[in-house]
Amino acid sequence: MNAIISAPELVNELAGSSPPVLLDVRWQLSMPTAGGAAPFDGRAEYTAGHLPGAVFVDLDRELASAAGPAGRHPLPDPEVFGAAMRRAGVSSGVPVVVYDGGQGWAAARAWWLLRWTGHPDVRVLDGGLPSWEGELDTDVRVPAEGDFTPVPGAVGLLDADGAAALARSGLLLDARAGERYRGEAEPVDRVGGHIPGAVSAPTNENVAADGRFLPADELTARFKTLGAADTTAVGVYCGSGVSGAHEVLALAVAGIPAALYVGSWSEWSGDAARPVAVGPDPQ
């Protein structure tokens, strides 16, 4: 099954006899500003215009639990996540397509959570909302409740100890920007740097200028250059388990299974007992 779907393909599927459920997961990391600018409001963006039939899903409230020692976007409580998915009309036997504002991170987080909890058919709209050429809708849809029941564990998940071990025994990719990996800048977390042994692999290098993923063969070549051999176990982390999900999605497009360390750097760096590496060298 493909992990992504193009806008023309989605148009065809929506016109078919078994259209997918559409989830709008617009979100972006909002940092405090000196001018006091209002934080990004995904629900307001959704209300202003969304794909026809799409239902809004709130990443911070429904795709994560409250920030704390486990990181800025820990796993959501399965009951909360399941209720949110059923409210959005998600059922186990109906395909799901997720999109966001174009960056792809939030959509990938929803994709990964649905895959991790056992949904068999989830895809991300490649390029997100900007790739859509049809009309947008402003009606707030209330779909019939779905029947999806999360069963966690269907795909790989890492904790901090597992990520540390994988950095030694396999390939642990750091999806953040290179300057954060090297410890030259850290705008969010307690300290800059990376997990010792992790390899820098910024997720923005997996996409073209329009936000669409590079062709599968190019992604495969990139990850093999980074060390993803056929027999190598692969894991990914980022700042808080959002952009890392996008890298796991890119790996899936390349045909490479990978586990996600959801706590990511926000959890790792919050524990002063965990070692921190800086500079371009993995160690």
Widest CA span in the chain: 55
187: Cβ–Cβ under 8 A, 6 or more apart, which residues? Answer: 31, 180
Alpha-carbon distance of 42 to 225, in angstroms, equals: 36
Distances 258 to 33, 123, 237 between C-alpha atoms, Å: 35, 16, 10
Pick from 2, 20, 23, 24: nearest CA to 10 = 20
Among 21, 84, 238, 242, the one annotated catalytic: 238
Residues counted in the chain: 283
Q: Which region holds residue 95: left if phi is over 0, alpha if psi is between -120 and 50, else beta?
A: beta
**279 is known as an active-site residue:** no
What backbone phi and psi angles, to 5 degrees, belong to 257? -70, 145
Evaluate whether 85 touches 150 at the Cβ level (below 8 Å): yes
Among all residues, which ones are annotated catalytic?
238
